[in-house]
Amino acid sequence: MSAFTKNILVTGGAGFIGSHLVRYFVNKYPDYKIINLDLLTYAGNLENLKGIEDAPNYEFVKADITNIDEIRNIFTSYNIDHVIHLAAESHVDRSIENPLSFITTNITGTAILLIAAREHWGDFKDKRFYHVSTDEVYGSLGAEGFFYEDTSYDPRSPYSASKASSDHLVRAFNHTYGMPVVISNCSNNYGPYQFPEKLIPLMVNNILHKKNLPVYGDGTNVRDWLWVGDHVTAIDTIFHNGKDGETYNIGGENELQNIELVHMLCDLMDEKLEQPVGSSRNLITFVTDRLGHDARYAIDATKLKKELNWEPSIQPNEGMSKTIDWYLDNTEWLENVTSGKYQEYYEAAYGNRDLV
């Protein structure tokens, strides 16, 4: 008999959101065994999990979700009874440069996990497949309105199309085979350990190194920002209390235009670095817009709040300040992850970007 009440496979647990989730579950649920499966691509880093490596209820397995033999073996060896699936290629700009890796990892990888889970689980008793997804599957909003759980899918980038496809596969396994699944679609996250290709850590890193701050287009695109710790508590809530077959939207109701956010980051950084006010704003450079750039995302999270009593804990001003403090205290982490593999990619993808 195992000492653990659940064996939970978390995929992508060495990435940004996954590492926060794994740390939270390992600490909060000593009676659950957390098996963190990650391929450690440029975006996955075991440094993100410092402090929990030796916990008795934690194990790391390096594996590829697109390799069906590896995945089948893991289900059997660890007798997996729950999955929280986060592993993905996650950056829209990279999906524009190289769509195929998104299609392979996000679609085929999800299909392989579903197939292996179904084979291992038999009658599905006390099992759950939790798929972590994005609000980008709903497309792009105009100035008004929100994404609801029943908003029609209208993905517009290779990234969001691959996530939409994986959501459909998860629902199909629920409908066809009766697999117990739950899906959440979350807005843009921010916080410690986010890879500095995404807007916030990229800007913080560039401000630190006095490099240009590339704002795409005119900077008026809107994103709805959520503290990563609040995404983790939402996943915890949905994992334990969400209903089988349901979808929950997760968001912080914190819409900001990109340029407003960049201004906020610049001003906070000037204050923290004791620089003259306005020094960082001088680095802002408007660059050629992203292809097919979605105008606005905004989540209505009423269902999650009303049915499962979840609330976000912090507002962006406080969250951004905490986030910047973390990056300033962890410049070595920033240096480590921006060297090597990532640097090569960054230069290939952005080195020749035209300035407007």
Q: For the CB of residue 267, give the shortest distance to ligand TYD in the complex, in Å.
A: 17
List the interface residues with ligand TYD, window 236-295 (CB under 6 A).
258, 290
How many CA atoms lie within 13 Å of 173's alpha carbon, on the beta-carbon side? 27
Cβ-based burial of 276 (10 A; exposed 0-12, middle 13-18, buried ≥19)? exposed
Between the two ends of the chain, the Cα-to-Cα distance in Å is 64
Distance CA 76, CA 283 (A): 53
Cβ-based burial of 31 (10 A; exposed 0-12, middle 13-18, buried ≥19)? exposed
Q: Which does 41 bind (CB under 5 to 8 A by kind): ligand NAD, ligand TYD, none?
A: ligand NAD
**Residue type for position 355:** L
Which residues are at the interface with ligand NAD (CB under 6 A)? 11-12, 14-18, 38-41, 43-44, 64-66, 86-90, 105, 109, 132-134, 163, 186, 188-189, 195
Alpha helices in 38-147 (DSSP H): 68-77, 92-97, 99-102, 109-121
Q: Which of 215, 234, 298, 299 binds ligand TYD (CB under 6 A)?
A: 215
202 binds ligand TYD (CB under 6 A): yes
7 binds ligand TYD (CB under 6 A): no
Does the active-site annotation cover 159?
Answer: yes
Does the active-site annotation cover 236?
Answer: no
Q: Write down the catalytic residue from 38, 64, 135, 167.
A: 135
Give the E-state strand segments of the chain in sequence order.
6-11, 32-38, 58-62, 82-85, 128-134, 181-186, 188-190, 213-216, 222-227, 247-250, 255-257, 284-287
Q: Decide whether 221 or 249 has the Cβ nearer to ligand TYD.
A: 221
Q: Write down the catalytic residue from 136, 149, 230, 255.
A: 136
Q: For the CB of residue 193, give the shortest distance to ligand NAD in the complex, in Å.
A: 8
Does the active-site annotation cover 300?
Answer: no
Q: Write down the catalytic residue from 58, 78, 130, 159.
A: 159
216 binds ligand TYD (CB under 6 A): yes
Return the active site residues: 135-136, 159
Contacting positions for ligand TYD (CB under 6 A): 91-92, 188, 198-199, 202, 214-216, 221, 223, 258, 290
